[in-house]
Amino acid sequence: MSESPRFHIHNLGCRVNRVESDSIAAGLIAAGAQPAEPQDAALIIVNTCTVTAEADSKTRKSVRGLLKRAPQAQVICTGCSAVMNPSFYAALGPRISVIADKDSVLAASCELLGLDLPPVDAFSRVGTGFMARAGIKVQDGCDNDCSFCIVRKARGAARFRNRDSIIEEAKTAHVAGVGELVLTGINLGTYPDLPGLIQDVLDATAGEPLLRLRFSSIEPQDVSESLLQVMADAGPRVCHYLHMPLQSGCDRTLTEMNRHYCCADYERIVCACREYLPDLALACDLMVGFPGESDADFARSLAFCERMGFSRMHLFRYSMRPGTPAASRKDQVSAQVKAQRAEAMHGLASRMRRDDQAARVGAHEFLAVERVDRQGSALIVKGTLGCFHEGLLTLEHGNLLPRVGALVPVRIVGLGDDILLCDCDSDTI
């Protein structure tokens, strides 16, 4: 019997990319292939990213490095950078295949490995090698036109997955024992009747074991009262956590970014969120050093972020992305100034994160188990709480073994080093 062909997937970029990469991996495993390190793989698939110039550079470096590390492998480049720069990757050598359409990658991979394409219902993104907190992609593409972003061109117009297929995938994950499902999309909030979809998924996955939902990211203008009501009514089955991109806390900068809200709009939405969900953990994306951002603009942004009290901030320095309006501006901010502003914003983010963690001591939560280590007779359990902070649970009775992926009821009892310390909130694991 011949040995199963081996493949390696190198993923770059956003969580949507990761979900897409996992789907390709699941299909290849169902077809009979085995995941492997690059040097042992007959096929390497690179899911590329081009969201910033820095991401594009990192992607190109990764592809070159994989070609050198695995001289025996065929390489498929897919994803946003492959869409925007197909000729660059094709010119790297005859072993490279550029496939812009990710839906075609599995079939092309099976053909290269000499495998039959497996039926869709044979795929499973659960178990070793896959995320304990599983993602479900429900939407792709974007109709926004932010002046710093190329994703609209790379991913195309907004489009939506069939509701029945989403529900079936959620049910399959629930039966497999997944404790947390993360609904993902490039512009998730544009999904038609998102609150109704959430309720349908909750209804389809009711019962034991407990399954909860989380949203990957949602634009502030897409957060409706009906969405907040579904979240509030669901209790712990929907994480009281929202990642709402802000990008800047200065109205002038937001206008030049072509973001479709002002700071007052954002603050009004945050107030509504906290009225429905008093224990809300609020996260954001925030950019420093956008072209034309003055010291006064940055000071306004810093003050606004402090007023919002974010539990988590994804901070990044503006990076020129060729092909975007912002890249052609002459009032670029120097690297030194961007570094100074990033340091100041990081300091605020760290303080707010710690404040949010401290405020949650004494709260009752569910921990999505992602890792279990044995330390003597004790078990050290790490995972993600509903508030998206990392949690650590120490079980002295080491004969009980929480299952990776499961939800464990806990009480938060203290703060560690950027982690919340927990006690088991039930005698049953």
CA proximity to 392, closest of 416, 359, 375, 409: 416
Residue with tokens 């090698």: 129
CA proximity to 218, closest of 157, 155, 266: 266
CA proximity to 203, closest of 177, 176, 166: 166
Q: What is the pLDDT of residue 187?
A: 95
Percent of the chain having pLDDT more than 90? 81
Taking only the tens place, the pLDDT of each residue in 76-91 is: 999 999 999 999 999 9
Look at residue 188 and tell me whether its pLDDT is greater than 60: yes
Mean pLDDT in the chain? 93
- Is residue 256 within 8 Å of residue 293, measured between CB atoms? no
Residue type, 67: L
Taking only the tens place, the pLDDT of each residue in 38-63 is: 999 999 999 999 888 888 889 999 99
Look at residue 122 and tell me whether its pLDDT is greater than 90: no
Backbone torsions φ then ψ of 400, nearest 5 degrees: -90, 130
**What does the alpha-carbon distance between residue 5 and residue 170 come to, in Å, rounded to a whole number?**
30
**What does the alpha-carbon distance between residue 60 and residue 202 come to, in Å, rounded to a whole number?**
41
- CA gyration radius, the chain: 22
Q: How confident is the model at residue 3 (pLDDT cuts 50, 70, 90)?
A: confident
Look at residue 246 and tell me whether its pLDDT is greater than 50: yes
**What does the alpha-carbon distance between residue 258 and residue 146 come to, in Å, rounded to a whole number?**
5
Q: How confident is the model at residue 141 (pLDDT cuts 50, 70, 90)?
A: very high
Look at residue 151 and tell me whether its pLDDT is greater than 70: yes
**What does the alpha-carbon distance between residue 1 and residue 17 come to, in Å, rounded to a whole number?**
35
Average pLDDT score over residue span 239-249? 98
What residues does CATH 3.40.50.12160 cover in the chain? 6-122
Q: What is the pLDDT of residue 51?
A: 85
Q: What is the pLDDT of residue 207?
A: 87
Taking only the tens place, the pLDDT of each residue in 311-370 is: 999 999 999 888 999 999 999 999 999 999 999 999 999 999 999 999 999 999 999 999
Q: What is the pLDDT of residue 412?
A: 97
CA proximity to 212, closest of 157, 132, 278, 283: 132
Look at residue 302 and tell me whether its pLDDT is greater than 80: yes
Q: Based on the number of CB atoms within 10 Å of its own CB, is 389 exposed (0-12), middle (13-18) or buried (19 or more)? A: buried
Give the architecture-level CATH label for domain 6-122. Answer: 3-Layer(aba) Sandwich (3.40)
Look at residue 152 and tell me whether its pLDDT is greater than 60: yes
Look at residue 208 and tell me whether its pLDDT is greater than 90: no
Give the architecture-level CATH label for domain 364-424. Answer: Beta Barrel (2.40)
Taking only the tens place, the pLDDT of each residue in 381-429 is: 999 999 999 999 998 865 667 888 999 999 999 999 999 999 998 644 4
Look at residue 14 and tell me whether its pLDDT is greater than 90: no
DSSP-based helix, strand, coil % in the chain, nearest 5: 40, 25, 35
Q: How confident is the model at residue 128 (pLDDT cuts 50, 70, 90)?
A: low
Look at residue 180 and tell me whether its pLDDT is greater than 50: yes
**What does the alpha-carbon distance between residue 145 and residue 6 come to, in Å, rounded to a whole number?**
40
Percent of the chain having pLDDT more than 70? 95
Q: What is the pLDDT of residue 374?
A: 86
Q: How confident is the model at residue 231 (pLDDT cuts 50, 70, 90)?
A: very high
Taking only the tens place, the pLDDT of each residue in 86-113 is: 999 999 999 999 998 898 999 999 999 9
What residues does CATH 2.40.50 cover in the chain? 364-424
- Is residue 370 within 8 Å of residue 133, measured between CB atoms? yes
Q: What is the pLDDT of residue 205?
A: 96
In angstroms, the Cα distances linking 357 to 97, 178, 254, 389 are 46, 26, 29, 7
